[in-house]
Each structure stands twice: as C-alpha cells, then as structure tokens.
Structure 1
Amino acid sequence: MTPFVYLHGFSSTPNGNKGRFVRQWVEAREIAFHAPDLNLPAFETLTITAQVEAVEALVRGLPEPPVLVGSSLGGFIATAVAHRGSRVKAMLLLAPAIHFAGRRTTHPTWAAYRERGEMEVFHHGAGRLLRLGPELLRDLPNWLGEETWRLAVPTVILHGRADDSVPLAESEAYAARNPEAILHILDDDHGLLAPASLARLEAELDAAR
C-alpha cells in the first residue's frame, strides 16, 4: 500500500493542525504514515538543504514511492525532492511556498534578516520566539530557479484565495507550467482549515492512495 509522507511548514512541526488531520485520516485506513521533523539541523540553524536531504533519505528507505503531502514550506520541500529525482507517486500540496527561495530573498518582511543575518520568529511548535540564524539565508541561493521547475509527477494543489502568507499566484504559476498539476482554489486563508477545505483535503487524500 502506498505510504504517505507529510511535510510541515516553516516554524511548525509535524503535529500542527494539518499534520494531525492528515495523520488521523491516513492511520485510520491503516496506511503507512511518516511525518519527519523538518526543523533541521535545528530551527535556529535551519537550511533547505538539510530538509531536502532528510526527506530524500526517508523516501529511499520506503518500499514503494510515496505520496508527499507538503504544507507551505513543506510544499517547496516536496517539489525540490521530486525535482532532484526521488521516487514519488504523487504530490498533494497545501498552500505551497513553491517560490520560497526566490521570493524570500527579496520580500520586504525579510529585509532586516538579510541585513542582520538573524531574526526572531514565533515557532508554533515551541510556542515561543526562536532566533533564526544566518544559515538559511546563506543556503537559499542553492535553491534559486524553482520558478522554472517542470515535474512529471501527478500533483494536486489546494490554495486559499485569501492566503496572505503565500501568494495564490505562486500556485497558479506552477500549475500553468506543469501539465501534471491540478489547482483547486478554495474560499479560505493560509490555514486551509475551513470545513469545506478539510472536506476537499479528505477527497484528495482518498484519490491519491
């Protein structure tokens, strides 16, 4: 049976709201489920490279290609893993930050981070502010060019039209250049926790297995 791998977002953990929802759905059907902690090497020294390599190692150890369910930054990690050639059956991306590397290096919110090489971020898993060091900023140039990735992996994207964290335009651009991708625009925000959004998520999980 196809395993599912859930990839959480920035400043979060596998036990966030969407992570728990996906875990409960998958495990209720006795499907193998994996949700690695992507605060790697630690949140304070976070890099995209460490996250991608950890997921690649996980996927290599699975008996068959998994479905990757990526939320926000986890959506970017999923596409990066597929782009680098890992065996992936399908991807289900939830408000994915597909253009994270390029957008985050220029976004005004991160201007002070670029200047100082550190910033305080509220970490939802820790429940407090943590200091993000310069390692992420130094690593991002290794991941530029994601705007051109074209992946032959069946992909469903759920994105809220009221998302103020990740622009809907990122998912629209990805779907436009990837014929294997289907985009569902929902009446929701970045959380995608409205009843209709969760119902759509359940339907897509069922279709992917």
Structure 2
Amino acid sequence: MTPLVYLHGFASGPGGSKGTHCRRWAEARGLPFHAPDLNLPDFEHLTVTAQVEAVETLLAGLPPAVVVGSSLGGLVAAAVAHRGTALRGLILLAPAFGFSLRRLAGPRWAGYRRRGTMPTFHYARNAWTVLQRDLLEDLPAWRDDRTWHLSVPVAILHGRRDEAVPLAESEAFVAANPGADLRVVDDDHGLLDPASLAVLDGLLEAAFQG
C-alpha cells in the first residue's frame, strides 16, 4: 500500500497543523503515514544534508511513497527525488527553493553570517533557541536547487501573499520542470486557509489515484 510521508518545515515539527491535517487525511483512508522529525541532528546543529539523508533512509524501507513537503521540507523532498529515490509523487507546499541563496546572500540573515549563530523561535518547542553555524556551513551544498529537473510527478501549492518564500521561486521551478502542476491560492506561507487545505486534499486524492 502506498504510504503518505509528511516533511515539516524550518523551526517546526511533525505535529504541526499541516502535518496533523495530512495524518488525518491518511488515517481516514487507511493509508500508512509517516512524519519524521527533521530537527537533525538537533535543531541547534541543523543541516539540510542530515535531513535529506534521514528521509532517504526512511523511504528506502517503504514502497514508493507520496511525499508532502512543507517549506524547507519541500526543498528536502525535492532533493530526495533529485538524488534518485523512487517516489509515487511529490506535493510541495510553498517549497523553500532558493533557501541557500537567500540565507547566504540575503540581508535578513546577515547577522547569522557575521556571528555564526542566530536566535531562532522554534514553533514546535514554543521556545527560543540558538541556531549554530552548522546550517550556514552546509548550505552551499544545496545552492543549485533551481537547476533540478525531477522526473517524478510534482504538484506545488503556493500562496500569492507568501512573505517567507517568494512565489517566484515556485514559478522558476515550474519553468524548469514544465510538467509540474502549480496551484496559486490567496493565502500566506502557512497555507492554512480552508480553501488552501481543500486544494491540498484534491492534490492528495490525485496523487494516490494517479
């Protein structure tokens, strides 16, 4: 039976609102569901490499899955597909394409680049913590995400009012992957409006029927 795998975003956890929504969707249909904790090796020493490798290990023990990735989890999901893991389909929710370039060059993380640490609010913990330099040092390995061409079916859901990940990032990905299905909704980065969740449900149904 095809499993559903949910990958959460940056400074979050598997029990967030979108992860819970996906879990309930899968359970209502009797589908296996997995939502790994991607704060790896822990959030303070987070790296994209550790996240990608953990997801590859999980998927290696499962039948080809439908993977839903939110924000940074969307980038991780795309990286796993890019590196050759066989998947049934990808659903990317405001995927953080360009994450490396925005962090390495953008003004918002200038202090992180200068100090090598950054106070960060972790939503799953509901507490502040300090991100160490591990992520900063790991990011150059993932700066070519805009050039990836994925052979797996891909659907993207992105809010036109997203201030965390520009809609232009998803549009650029679709330009490089013209088979991808981009759905733009009137929502922000959270994608928790009922209309957005209804679109997500439709994408899930299509992925499991395809």
Identify the TM-score tier after normalising by the shorter chain. Answer: over 0.9
Residue identity in the other structure for 2:33 = F
Partner of 1:146: 145
Is 1:27 equivalent to 2:27 in the alignment?
yes
Instruction: Kindly provide the amino acid, as one letter, of the partner of residue 132 in structure 1.
Output: L
Gaps in structure 1 of 5+ consecutive residues: none
Alignment partner, residue 52 of structure 1:
52
RMSD: 0.7
TM-score, L = length of structure 1: 0.98
Q: Secondary structure at the match of 2:53?
A: helix
Output aligned runs, 1:105-184, within 5 Å: 105-184=104-183
Residue aligning to 1:9: 9
Amino acid at match of 2:90: M
Deviation at 1:170, TM superposition (A): 0.3
Find runs of 4+ consecutive structure 1 residues off by over 4 angstroms: none
CA shift at 1:47, angstroms? 0.3
Please give the TM-score of this superposition, normalised by the length of structure 2: 0.97
8 Å CA contact retained: 1:82, 1:151: yes
Give the match's secondary structure for 1:105. Answer: helix
User: How much identity, in percent, do the aligned residues show?
Assistant: 60
1:93 aligns with 92
SS in 2 for 1:203: helix
Paired with 2:81 and 2:60, the residues of 1 have a C-alpha distance of: 12
Q: 2-side partners of 1:194 and 1:14: how far apart? A: 19
CA contact (8 A) 1:153 1:180 kept: no
For structure 2, the residue ranges without an aligned partner over 5 or more in a row are: none
What letter is aligned with 1:202?
Answer: D
- 1:193 Cα deviation (Å)? 0.8
**How far off its partner does 1:103 sit?**
2.0
